[in-house]
Amino acid sequence: MGAMVVRSPGGPEQLEWAEVPRPVPERDEVLVRVEACGVNHLDLHVRRGLPGNPIELPHILGSEPVGIVEKLGPEAEAASASAGRPVKPGDRVIVAPGFLERFHADRSGPDSRWPDYRVIGSGSPGGYGEFVKARAENLVTVSDRWTPEEWAATPLVFLTAWHMLVGRARLRPGETVLVLAAGSGVGSAAVQIGRHFGCRVIATAGADWKLERAAELGADEGVDHSDPDWPQAVRALTGGGVDVVVEHVGEATFSKAVTTLAPGGRLVTCGATTGPAAELHLVHLFAKQLSVLGSYMGDFRDLLDVVALLSAGRLHPVVDRVFPVREAAAAHRRLEAREAFGKIVLKHG
């Protein structure tokens, strides 16, 4: 099969089209013919090389593959039926971005606590290839409500944003939510989720046109985070601070973001795109009884929740641009340049 592969760690030029062996589904695995795959910052990190996380090269990126079931392994039909989500050849499915490599009877806690938890496209070959395989229980059948490219703009980012707001921050209707970098995939999903819960949503972005797009998604107010005094603008809008901050930018915004919280507020973070180091004023933390929460991906049940809302039209994909998969390098450059609003998607065929 054909695939865009990373030959060695480095820049977008390290992506090249190559012929690689087609995956063979074994036991409870399913072979999926990929139609489209979302592009994520994780792809950039893996392409550059993650310290302490060596990958076998050449490597196939892509954490959000969507496609058609091509073939089932000998135990896959029974496994999918047992999971309550039977799949058959011809079904369009999302491959769960985060998955467990083997069956676990106990799914009561976070999936990521298990040592065999992986993220597709990082810990296994992903959706930049024409085919991908996955265990049957890690698939979700989707409707025709959205195109394959639109579905590919949803799995990882809506899963992440949902787990941040609902699973970790315990968002409540009527609260005020600050979404940093609302033009990103996670940010554009978080704006919609906040609106879905009847919250007041304040979005930040570095350009007026991005703030206008955020308003179209449901943001009530917008703040230009290229202004060094943007936290003061947030406090002025709220008369004291917000209940929840969605932080995924990292070093460039974390310390300032904490200062926008009202007493008892919660900051939830899932990423460090601009760097992992951040300062935290401890007196500010305990005097205002703030909570700082980490959030990593999300559980399979979170994915089922967001897919149901997407299928019902209560949430919707935000596609920035669709590139042919062979133009993955150009897609990476667009994401690195922060030119996108929403999701960049790669299309096969």
CATH architecture of 2-154+317-347: Alpha-Beta Complex (3.90)
DSSP 215: H
Phi, psi of 124 (to 5 degrees): -160, 160
**CA geometry: angle at 127 spanning 124 and 133, to 5°?**
60
In angstroms, rounded to a whole number, what is the distance separating the alpha carbons of residues 10 and 20?
21
pLDDT tens track, the chain, 349 positions: 999 999 999 999 999 999 999 999 999 999 999 999 999 999 999 999 987 777 889 999 999 999 999 999 999 999 999 888 999 999 999 999 999 888 887 777 788 889 999 999 998 999 999 999 999 999 999 999 999 999 999 999 999 999 999 999 999 999 999 999 999 999 999 999 999 999 999 999 999 999 999 999 999 999 999 999 999 999 999 998 999 999 999 888 899 999 999 999 999 999 888 888 888 888 889 999 999 999 999 999 999 999 999 999 999 999 999 999 999 999 999 999 999 999 999 999 8
Fold of 157-294: Quinone Oxidoreductase; Chain A, domain 1 (3.90.180)
**Same topology for domains 2-154+317-347 and 157-294, yes or no?**
yes
Largest CA distance in the chain: 61
Structural domain spans, the chain: 2-154+317-347, 157-294
Helices within the chain (DSSP H only): 41-48, 76-82, 148-151, 155-162, 185-196, 208-217, 230-238, 254-258, 282-287, 300-311, 328-336
